[in-house]
């Protein structure tokens, strides 16, 4: 038996099913325009490592109205005011047109009309709830606010492809949204809906609803400041070289936590955007080129008594291996080199000769070493779609006499940038290879539901002696070798350049895949990083010219955050003690006035209000501090008054400790931030 009660225009349902199949209920429900539909659960949030929101679902509302519900006196006394407010708020129809629309619907006993297709936010909803008629509520005033969840990225397109997107039905499509969809999505509920004239559905609250269970939150390892630094550096160099796409991944050495990951592709208009995760996915699995020489040298040093000072004759830069000619980048060749110099100068011939001479009679021994490190296996990364590495061995049907010398310098194999980075990170981590990590935990409010830690993939990729030697060679690449253009006096970088010719239709072309992988500071590695730039245009086509400068720019900006490594203020004091007081940062008018009063020579290079100082001989030069909207200002060296004024004026919340001038700030100067972000400054 099925009984429907209609009272005051409101549908209540009391169902008693005495039929085994329920066909009569379904038939009657369809006749009445009734249908059980899903009620969406609220999708969980995605957080950065410091709790900043990377993705969240915010409620928006569609405003509908049942004009038949209010009684005549209530309707007639308020309809004009309501029509006026609707017209002023939406701006699509006049007051008279809204009045006509509502009167017609009431006359025709319409039970549900959409007032406007525009969705409103929570604050607008609170305002509307105080309007005439609407303030009487749903049952007396007829107002219907239908909640819809919208996925919002507070940092806009920062890390867009890594964070991922959701479909119209709120399911993860790519990125973390897809890989962790089960945790984020929650469980939908269900409720009874009635189809109204015009095709819209109105919920019928009859007590039979099943409440949805909201999704869990996930906390990532991504650092917003470092992501911004990485993405900005990569974009600048991609535009400079008009490359097809670029990848940059930054990882903490000890933990394996990925702090930044950027993938930028060029579209037909020449603009760069995040289209595909080349760092992780199968499309990013390529022949790495010379960055793979690290693996070859590990195998060689592990299986031989060779010393870094032993010599290798690389000849005039060309050498025949069967019917193929191998070439070094330097015209005329390098001649005789030490083993260490072979690596530092990235001699293809030198590496190929060493590997062929030692493993030529038993190439399986070489490929077995590569596999023992773990280079033939996926990392088991948390994001779905990791590319599978491929290391050719003598059992492969395509193996030939050319395979061993070509594999030795990064051809006839495939690895993703993230897989290459894991090898370099293992060297920086004293031989321990760990699984990269991008999600630390799954949470419900403050309760941890699931926690993730990096797994040890290989506790010891090589002996201590080999590790010592390859570290020396990696540092030598930057000190004296192919990447000496990124050498600096402040801290040491260790790494390796890579330049591989691309294959099209089975043949190598003059298009290049460039890279640089390494870690810093070399003496106490904190971060490892890989940069890949695919098919750069112009005369600069090598990893040293294209990818390595991106690495250095990222490293420099991270180094700049570590104020413990900087002694600029004490150095300035010591150098100019007795000449004039230390002046570092502040308002140009104030600082110039003080300098003039004290008789200190000062000159300006900018008309900006906020300046930094540069000391030249016994004079001060004012330089633009570059304070911009939605970017973190650099307030180091400012007085507390100036620092608070600058920070609060760009929309930051400020917490302070210490006394004196600003010594350190918690957020990276120049990086993006959402309004309301808190910055900590320390004075000394």
Asked if residue 461 has pLDDT above 70, the reply is yes
Asked if residue 236 has pLDDT above 80, the reply is yes
In angstroms, the CA 264 to CA 249 distance is 12
In angstroms, the CA 42 to CA 445 distance is 13
Q: 251: which 2 tokens? A: 């990882």
Reported as a single tens digit per residue, the pLDDT across 103-120 is 999 999 888 899 998 999
Domains and CATH numbers, the chain: 2-31 (no CATH), 36-188 (3.90.1310.10), 225-561 (3.40.710.10), 564-683 (3.30.10.20)
What's residue 13's pLDDT? 39
What's residue 529's pLDDT? 98
What is the average per-residue pLDDT within 64-92? 94
Asked if residue 31 has pLDDT above 70, the reply is no
Asked if residue 205 has pLDDT above 70, the reply is no
Reported as a single tens digit per residue, the pLDDT across 426-440 is 999 999 999 999 999
Tell me which long-range contacts 319-327 makes (C-beta under 8 A, separation of at least 24).
319/349, 319/352, 319/353, 321/352, 321/356, 321/401, 321/402, 321/405, 321/406, 322/400, 322/401, 322/402, 324/402, 326/352, 326/405, 326/406
What's residue 82's pLDDT? 95
What's residue 617's pLDDT? 57
- Which range scores top for mean pLDDT: 49-63, 97-111, 470-484? 470-484
Reported as a single tens digit per residue, the pLDDT across 655-674 is 888 888 888 888 878 777 77
User: Phi, psi (5° rounding) for residue 113?
Assistant: -135, 145
Residue 206's Cβ-count burial label (10 Å; 0-12, 13-18, 19+) is middle
What's residue 639's pLDDT? 83
What is the average per-residue pLDDT within 11-29? 44
Reported as a single tens digit per residue, the pLDDT across 279-304 is 999 999 999 999 999 999 999 999 99
* pTM of structure: 0.75
- Of 42-46, 92-96, 566-570, the poorest mean pLDDT is in 566-570
User: What interhelical angle do 293-303 and 348-359 show, nearest 10?
Assistant: 40
- Of 140-154, 436-450, 516-530, the poorest mean pLDDT is in 140-154
Q: Are 405 and 326 in contact (CB under 8 A)?
A: yes
Between 152 and 598, name the one with better pLDDT.
152
């Amino acid at each position: 038996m099925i009984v429907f009660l209609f009272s005051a225009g409101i549908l209540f349902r009391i169902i008693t099913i005495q039929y085994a199949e329920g066909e009569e209920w379904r038939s009657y429900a369809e006749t009445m325009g009734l249908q059980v539909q899903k009620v969406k659960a609220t999708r969980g949030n995605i957080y950065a490592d410091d709790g900043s929101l990377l993705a969240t679902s915010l409620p928006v509302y569609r405003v509908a109205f049942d004009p038949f519900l209010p009684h005549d006196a209530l309707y007639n006394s308020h309809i004009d005011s309501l029509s006026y407010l609707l017209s002023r708020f939406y701006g699509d129809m006049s007051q008279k047109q809204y009045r006509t629309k509502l009167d017609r619907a009431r006359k025709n006993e319409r039970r549900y009309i959409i007032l406007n297709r525009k969705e409103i936010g929570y604050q607008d909803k609170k305002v509307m709830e105080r309007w005439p008629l609407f303030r009487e509520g749903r049952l007396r005033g007829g107002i219907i606010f239908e909640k819809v969840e919208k996925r919002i990225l507070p940092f806009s397109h920062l890390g867009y492809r890594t964070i991922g997107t959701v479909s119209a039905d709120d399911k993860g499509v790519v990125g973390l949204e897809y890989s962790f969809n089960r945790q984020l999505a929650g469980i939908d509920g269900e409720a009874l809906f009635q189809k109204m004239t015009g095709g819209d559905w109105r919920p019928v609250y009859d007590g039979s609803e099943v409440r949805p269970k909201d999704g869990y939150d996930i906390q990532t390892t991504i650092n917003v400041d470092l992501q911004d630094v990485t993405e900005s550096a990569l974009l600048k160099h991609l535009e400079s070289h008009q490359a097809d796409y670029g990848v940059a991944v930054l990882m903490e050495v000890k933990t394996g936590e990925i702090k930044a990951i950027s993938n930028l592709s060029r579209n037909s208009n020449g603009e760069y955007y995040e289209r595909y995760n080349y760092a992780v996915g199968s499309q990013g699995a390529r022949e790495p080129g010379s960055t793979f020489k690290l693996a070859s040298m590990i195998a060689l040093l592990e299986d031989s008594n060779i010393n870094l000072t032993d010599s290798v004759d690389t000849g005039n830069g060309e050498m025949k291996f069967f019917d193929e000619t191998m070439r070094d980048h330097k015209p005329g060749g390098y001649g005789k080199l030490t083993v260490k110099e072979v690596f530092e100068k990235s001699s293809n011939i030198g590496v190929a000769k060493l590997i062929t001479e030692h493993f030529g009679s038993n190439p399986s021994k070489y490929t077995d070493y590569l596999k023992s490190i773990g280079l033939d296996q996926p990392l088991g990364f948390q994001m779905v779609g990791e590319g599978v590495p491929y290391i050719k061995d003598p059992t492969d049907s395509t193996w030939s006499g050319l395979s061993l010398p070509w594999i030795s310098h990064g051809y006839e194999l495939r690895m993703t940038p993230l897989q290459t980075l894991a090898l370099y990170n293992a060297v920086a981590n004293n031989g321990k290879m760990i699984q990269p990590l991008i999600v630390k935990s799954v949470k419900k409010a403050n309760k941890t539901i699931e926690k993730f830690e990096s797994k040890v993939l290989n506790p010891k990729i090589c002996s201590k002696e080999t590790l010592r030697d390859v570290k020396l060679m990696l540092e030598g690449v930057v000190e004296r070798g192919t990447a000496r253009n990124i050498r600096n006096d402040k801290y040491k970088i260790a790494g390796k350049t890579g330049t591989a010719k691309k294959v099209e239709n089975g043949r190598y072309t003059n298009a290049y895949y460039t890279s640089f992988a390494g870690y810093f500071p070399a003496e106490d590695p904190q971060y490892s990083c890989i940069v890949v730039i695919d098919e750069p245009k112009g005369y600069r086509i090598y990893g040293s010219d294209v990818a390595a400068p991106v690495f250095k720019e990222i490293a420099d900006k991270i180094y700049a955050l570590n104020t413990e490594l900087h002694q600029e203020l004490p150095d300035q004091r010591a150098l100019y003690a007795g000449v004039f007081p230390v002046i570092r940062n502040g308002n140009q008018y104030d600082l110039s006035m003080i300098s003039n009063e004290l008789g200190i020579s000062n000159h300006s290079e900018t008309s900006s209000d906020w300046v930094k100082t540069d000391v030249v001989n016994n004079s001060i030069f004012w330089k633009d501090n570059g304070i911009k909207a939605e970017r973190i200002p650099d307030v180091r060296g400012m007085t507390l008054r100036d620092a608070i004024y600058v920070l609060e004026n760009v929309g930051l919340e400020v917490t302070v400790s210490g006394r004196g001038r600003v010594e350190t700030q918690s957020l990276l100067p120049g990086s993006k931030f959402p309004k309301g972000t808190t910055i900590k400054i320390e004075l000394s």
